[in-house]
Each structure stands twice: as C-alpha cells, then as structure tokens.
C-alpha cells in the first residue's frame, strides 16, 4: 500500500515539475515568437499533428459525449429558453427585413403581382371568391356590390362618355363649384343605384369628395333640399 502511494506521489511531483518548467519556458518567449514557432512547426509536420489531434478526439469521443450529455441535462431549461429566444429574435428580424424589402421594391412587386394575376386568372378568382365567402360583411361594402347593382339596373358608360360629362361640368363640382382637377373627382349617380337609378350617361355627374360623401345614397331632391337649408340657415 505504502509503496503504491509513494509512486503515485512521485508521479504527481514529476508532473508538477514538468508543468512548472513548461510555464517558465512559455513565459520566456514573446507571444509573436510563440506564434511564429507554432506556424513553423505546423509547416514542418502539420499533417502529423492534425492526425494526432484527430486520434485524440476519437479516443475521447465517448467521454466528451457523456460530459456534454451531463451538462445538457443540468442546463436543459436554459438551453431550451435560449433556443426559443433566438428563434423569436430571428423571426422578428425576418419580419423587419421583409418590410424593408417590400418598401424598397414596391413597383417591382406590383409588376410581379400583376403578372401573376394575369397568368393565374382562375386561381386568383377562386381565391377572391373564397375570401368573399369568408368575409360577407366586408363584401357588403365592397365596390363589387355597386358593380353588380349597375348590371342589375342596366347601363353602360364609356370612358369617352365620362370625359364628355366632365367637360360639360367644366371640371367643377356640380354642388359646390370647386375645381375637380385638384383632387380625385367622385363619380355620382344622380338617382342612386340603390334607389333604382341607372348607370347611364344621363344619370351621372361628378362631385368633389366632400360633396359626394354628404350626398351618399340620398335621393337627389332630399340632398338638394339639405344643401339649400344649410346655405340659408
């Protein structure tokens, strides 16, 4: 027993001495010199060193795997939390990048979308139909409603017709005489479509946005009376 302990102690002492000598040698050389030596050594026998390192890795593979597994079990929650945070951060960054890209490439995207719509007319139509089926309330206020009512009431007005009407109005709002060229003019059905008016040239006039919003779907007489009362109150 005593002998064995003695050899062990002797071994440890020898190792300590060796380590101390190594430390001393290392300290006596500058970092630059150390790096230069390392480079020279790697040039001379890099292959051998790399092979040895690989062998060592192989030899201690199981031990390292076990160490990692133990560490992982101890820090499982931390690892999970960290992974989750990283995923969320990445998601957020992707969103920001995506928004930046969309902003920078507005026109390109619009052109691409139009091309896609043209090439996939049926698919797009069916997607639109799905959306309408899922959002009946929104559809109620959608302009398609007006389009279908226009069809039901009958009538067709060409672009030229609209230009002619605008010319007859001298580009002035019929109600308040403001210049319609300053903002987007609103097409108004004198007798509202909802009250049986037709989408024909004789039932169309242009209003400025505020006047059109105040008229909305009122009977034209009601609206004129309302304006008259407002002006003379």
According to CB under 5 A, which one of 176, 183, 224, 225 is a site residue for Zn ion?
176
**Shortest Å distance, C-beta 230 to Zn ion:** 13
**Shortest Å distance, C-beta 177 to Zn ion:** 7
**Exposed, middle or buried by CB within 10 Å (0-12, 13-18, 19+), for 206?**
buried
Taking CB under 5 A as the binding criterion, the range among 17-25, 38-46, 102-110, 169-177 that sits at the site for Zn ion is: 169-177
Q: How many residues line the site for Zn ion (CB under 5 A)?
A: 5
According to CB under 5 A, which one of 157, 166, 175, 204 is a site residue for Zn ion?
175
166 binding Zn ion? (CB under 5 A): no
Measured from the CB atom, the residue of 92 and 226 that comes closer to Zn ion is 226
10 binding Zn ion? (CB under 5 A): no
**Shortest Å distance, C-beta 179 to Zn ion:** 10
Taking CB under 5 A as the binding criterion, the range among 75-83, 109-117, 129-137, 166-174 that sits at the site for Zn ion is: 166-174
Considering only residues 205-224, where is the footprint of Zn ion by CB under 5 A?
Answer: 208, 211
What is the chain's length? 233
Q: Which residues, at least 6 apart from 195, have a Cβ–Cβ distance to it below 8 Å?
A: 217, 219
**Shortest Å distance, C-beta 165 to Zn ion:** 15
Taking CB under 5 A as the binding criterion, the range among 88-96, 104-112, 160-168, 174-182 that sits at the site for Zn ion is: 174-182
Contacting positions for Zn ion (CB under 5 A): 173, 175-176, 208, 211
């Amino acid at each position: 027993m005593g002998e064995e302990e003695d050899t062990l102690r002797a071994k440890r002492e020898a190792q300590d001495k060796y380590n101390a000598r190594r430390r001393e040698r290392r300290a006596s050389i500058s970092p630059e010199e150390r790096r230069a030596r390392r480079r020279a050594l790697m040039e001379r026998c890099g292959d051998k060193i790399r092979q040895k390192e690989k062998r060592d890795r192989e030899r201690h593979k199981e031990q390292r795997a076990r160490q990692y597994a133990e560490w992982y079990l101890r820090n499982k929650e931390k690892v999970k939390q960290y992974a989750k945070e990283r995923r969320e951060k990445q998601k957020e960054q992707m969103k920001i990048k995506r928004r930046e890209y969309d902003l920078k490439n507005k026109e390109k995207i619009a052109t691409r979308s139009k091309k896609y719509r043209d090439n996939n007319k049926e698919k797009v139509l069916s997607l639109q139909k799905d959306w309408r089926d899922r959002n009946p309330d929104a559809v109620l206020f959608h302009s398609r409603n007006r389009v279908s009512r226009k069809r039901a009431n009958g009538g067709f007005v060409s672009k030229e017709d609209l230009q002619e009407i605008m010319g007859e109005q001298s580009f002035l709002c019929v109600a308040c005489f403001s210049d319609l060229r300053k903002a987007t003019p609103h097409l108004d059905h004198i007798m509202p479509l909802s009250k049986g008016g037709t989408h024909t040239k004789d039932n169309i006039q242009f209003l400025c946005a505020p006047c059109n919003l105040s008229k909305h779907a009122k009977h034209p007489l009601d609206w004129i009376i309302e304006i008259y009362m407002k002006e003379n109150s």
